[in-house]
């Protein structure tokens, strides 16, 4: 499967109707399986999708039998036409049972959320002021599997980060090895790079799967 053909998933749908139609057609089924290594049967498992955006991948987790909680910083009440609003409208169209929460990945321990079987976080870390805290919180809320994807600067694979100066929304980009090291230090094992693609220059997109210890 050429994963470049379906990236970026969170930018493809400008309406709730398109999101719902893709979910009904299982548009992201092969993508989650091949690009991330997500099991096809998630019956009885709980999933937290951190940084869910418009929900294009969230509803595929539900289609696999999981009980899903999705979270993003976009408040659908105050931003009804933004991604949060489109998410809730798509949820209504799909008659989905996914729970949507407004949350900040850096403050997960303060939310009172439980530990989930699976925590999924796609392309979020560089939007945070502290990717290390974000990774610690992601891993701390998972008890079986962790999936994280990031854009990273391929100029160095040392355990460092790339800082994006003058950008109000994109801050620190961990390298691939940096992310692997952070996940290992926060309770992950059998960490593997499932897939990697080119991203807008000079970055690459890497998707990593790990088990919790």
pLDDT block averages, 10 residues each, the chain of length 213: 47 79 93 96 97 90 97 72 78 95 90 95 90 95 96 70 69 88 96 87 88 92
DSSP 200: S
The CB density around residue 43, as the number of other CB atoms within 10 Å, is 9
- Classify the C-alpha dihedral 32-38-40-44 as positive or negative: negative
- Mean model confidence pLDDT for the chain: 86
Cβ atoms of residues 179 and 150 within 8 Å: yes
Rounded Cα distance between 183 and 177, Å, is 10
- For 31-41, write each residue's pLDDT tens digit: 999 999 999 99
pTM for the model stands at 0.89
Query: Which residue in the block uniquely carries the two structure tokens 């407004």?
Result: 102
Domains of the chain (ranges; CATH) run 3-212 (3.40.50.150)
């Amino acid at each position: 499967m050429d994963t470049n053909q379906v990236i970026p998933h969170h930018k493809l749908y400008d309406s709730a109707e398109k999101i719902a139609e893709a979910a009904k057609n299982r548009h992201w089924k092969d993508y989650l399986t091949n690009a991330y290594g997500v099991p096809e049967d998630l019956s009885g498992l709980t999933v937290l999708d951190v940084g869910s955006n418009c929900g294009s991948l969230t509803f595929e987790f539900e289609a696999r039998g999981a009980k899903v909680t999705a979270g993003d910083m976009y408040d659908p009440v105050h931003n009804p036409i933004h991604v949060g609003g489109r998410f809730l409208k798509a949820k209504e169209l799909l008659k989905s049972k996914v729970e949507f929460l407004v949350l900040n990945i850096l403050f997960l321990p303060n939310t009172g959320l439980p530990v989930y079987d699976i925590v999924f976080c796609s392309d979020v870390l560089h939007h945070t002021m502290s990717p290390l805290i974000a990774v610690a919180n992601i891993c701390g809320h998972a008890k079986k599997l962790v999936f994280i994807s990031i854009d990273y600067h391929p100029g160095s694979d040392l355990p460092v980060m790339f800082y994006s100066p003058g950008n109000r929304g994109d801050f620190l980009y961990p390298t691939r090895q940096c992310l692997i090291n952070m996940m290992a230090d926060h309770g992950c094992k059998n960490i593997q790079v499932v897939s990697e693609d080119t991203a807008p220059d000079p970055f690459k997109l890497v998707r990593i799967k790990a088990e919790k210890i």
